[in-house]
Amino acid sequence: MGTAIGVLPGLGPAATIALLLPITFKIPSPLTAVIMLSGIYYGAMYGGSTTSILLNIPGEAASVVTCIDGYEMARQGRAGAALGMAAIGSFFAGTIGILGLQFLAPPLASFALQFGPPEYAALTFLGLLLAVYLSGTSVLKGVITGILGLALSLVGLDSVAGIPRYTLGLLELQGGIDIITVIMGLFGVGEILYNMESTTEVKILTTKIEHIYPTLKDWAASKYAVVRGSFLGFFIGLLPGGGAIIASLVSYAVEKRLSSFPDRFGKGAIEGVAAPESANNSAATSSFIPLLSLGIPGNPAIAMIFAALLIHGVQPSPSLITEHPEVFWGVVASMYIGNAMLLVLNLPLVGIWVQLLKVRYAILAPIICMVCLIGVFSFQSSFFDVWVMLIFGVIGYFMRKLGFESGPLILAFVLGPIFELSIRQSLRLSHGSPEIFFTRPISAALLAVAALVIIGYFSIGTRRKKKGHSPSS
């Protein structure tokens, strides 16, 4: 299912997880539910490369970089080599990510058990900052959507005083706005409205796909690109707001910079396919580490898996590995199996995936909309939630039209309650003194990193302004 979603333009893993989350309500085991949603997530990372290479259409946002060289290879009759390298590079990168999850998450969770409210406040602040900074081209727009997400997270009863806040006098809002309605509105209905405006016609490449397995020359050109992309993606995936899109962009830029023949990039260089595909799959897997070891989601799709765990009675936190070891180790084991399954399925079924694109969006859109309506209503049997979803659908549509990223809003909405509660608990411990955030080593170190991010942003902006006004420019 994840691969099919990755192939279809206009649907991403976050939207699909939101659409299919209601199905997991009837699954008694939280492990089974999380394995299903995780499979959709990293399956979509695989599927996005197929249409990028054959049609020059990124099926998933993280595959947009693959279009640059992948489609050129297809036009040169080397679609098979591009698809083969994308699949094998993704398998290698996914394996690296799973090994990192297996060996890094437990010690990180043990270290995080030392965290108190000040440390969590500093960590969530850093996460919000990075989510805004890394989310898109405009930091200002990221700040605006982040603040909107924080404001929405405050709706409902005050967690300490029990006083209604920003409920507009509506009894239905006293429990807060549900994350499922928000995400299905922004990523489901919003994407439908936005994509219905598109008049792009899909032209399927008719070149015969052959020689799927890369040649020795292809291996020689791509082996280091796969390794570098895998490790770059792994570390970028650990950052809140980083994710697969940033990982693929960075890995492509690094390969072009390190190449002895940078002019080949954009003209069908196989390294331009291997590096970003490896990076986005590695980042997709490593993004589970902060979720399962710290309880901090790093991107919208992981935020949906965070919500799924909460719905099934599992609190993502440093104690998850010890309190629910079957969930953590079950997910790790399933990823090994899923990664191998995707390698086996991705190449032989290329023809089937491409045929999905012959289905007109005018047919898909009503089906997706119906699934959204049924899914939201089935969660709490509330028509109020349906109206809230439709409102967020309109908001999501205008955000896409105006170039605002939805990621910071979702992450701020999820992290907002953790951030608020941690700050209030910290100030109670210190009798109202903010010094507690700076006198504890871990929270002080995290705030120092946040300060460096802010200073770095303003220094880069100042340097660009000076360069823009220089006579040489």
pLDDT digits (tens, 9 = 90+) for 12-60: 777 778 777 777 877 888 899 899 999 888 887 777 777 778 777 666 6
Structure tokens that stand for 140 in this block: 């200002």
Residue 373 to residue 377: CA distance in whole angstroms: 6
Average pLDDT, the chain: 82
How many angstroms separate the CA atoms of 23 and 309, rounded?
14
Number of domains, the chain: 1
Residue 187's contacts (CB-CB under 8 Å, 6 or more residues apart) are 12, 14, 15, 18, 300, 396, 406
42 in a domain, yes or no?
yes
Task: Give 233-288 pLDDT, tens digit per residue.
Answer: 898 888 766 667 778 878 888 888 888 888 888 888 888 888 888 988 898 889 89
Q: Which residue type is seen at 466?
A: K
**Is 473 inside a domain boundary?**
no
Q: CA 392 to CA 59: how far, in whole Å?
A: 24
What does the pLDDT average to over 371-381? 77
What's the full length of the chain, in residues? 473
Is residue 251 within 8 Å of 220, Cβ to Cβ? no
Q: Among residues 89, 17, 421, which one has the least CA distance to residue 251?
A: 89
> With contact defined as beta carbons under 8 Å apart, do 128 and 312 qualify?
no
Q: pLDDT confidence of 472, banded at 50, 70, 90?
A: very low
Q: Is the sign of the CA dihedral 164, 168, 172, 177 positive or negative? A: negative
Query: Which element (helix H / strand E) includes 156?
Result: strand 156-157
Q: Give residue-wise pLDDT tens across range 79-116.
A: 888 888 888 888 899 899 999 999 999 998 888 888 88
For tokens 């437990």, what's the residue? 106
Can you give the pLDDT at residue 471?
45
Q: Residue type at 309?
A: L
Predicted confidence band at 10 (pLDDT cuts at 50, 70, 90)?
Answer: low
Q: Tell me, what's the pLDDT at 203? A: 58
Share of the chain above pLDDT 70, in %: 89
Show the DSSP H helices in 259-355 as ranges: 271-286, 288-294, 300-311, 320-323, 325-346, 350-355
CB atoms within 10 A of CB 466: 10
Q: Is residue 357 part of a domain?
A: yes
Residues of the domain holding 382: 2-466
* In contact, 221 and 115? CB cutoff 8 Å: no
Q: Which pair of tokens denotes residue 446?
A: 């995290």
Asked whether the predicted pLDDT for residue 473 surpasses 70, the reply is: no
Element (H, E) at 399: helix 383-402
What is the 8-class DSSP label of residue 25? G
Q: State the Cα–Cα distance between residues 99 and 363, nearest whole angstrom.
A: 41
Q: Say if CB 53 and CB 70 are below 8 A apart.
A: yes
pLDDT at 395: 92
Is residue 386, in this structure, part of any structural domain at all? Answer: yes
- Spatial contact of 321 and 104, defined as CB atoms under 8 Å apart: no
Does the CA dihedral 47-187-405-443 come out positive or negative? Answer: negative
Distance CA 55, CA 296 (A): 36
- Three-class secondary structure of residue 314 per DSSP: coil
pLDDT at residue 470, as a whole number: 47
pLDDT tops 50 at residue 364 = yes
- Give me the numbers of helices (H) and strands (E) for the chain, helices first please: 22, 2
Give the single-character DSSP code of 165.
Answer: E
* pLDDT for res 200: 56
For residue 207, name the pLDDT band (cuts at 50, 70, 90): very low
pLDDT digits (tens, 9 = 90+) for 108-117: 888 888 888 8
Inter-CA distances, 173 with 155, 164, 185, 385, 388, Å:
7, 9, 17, 10, 10
Is residue 159 in a domain? yes
- Tell me the residue type at 91: F
356 located within any domain: yes
Residue 379 has pLDDT above 80, yes or no: no
365 vs 333, residue with greater confidence: 333
Rg of the Cα trace of the chain?
A: 22
Three-class secondary structure of residue 164 per DSSP? strand
In a domain, 471, yes or no: no
126, pLDDT greater than 70: yes
Measure CA of the first residue to CA of the last residue in the chain; give whole Å. Answer: 50
Most confident of 126-140, 214-228, 427-441, 452-466: 427-441
The answer to whether residue 392 is domain-embedded is: yes
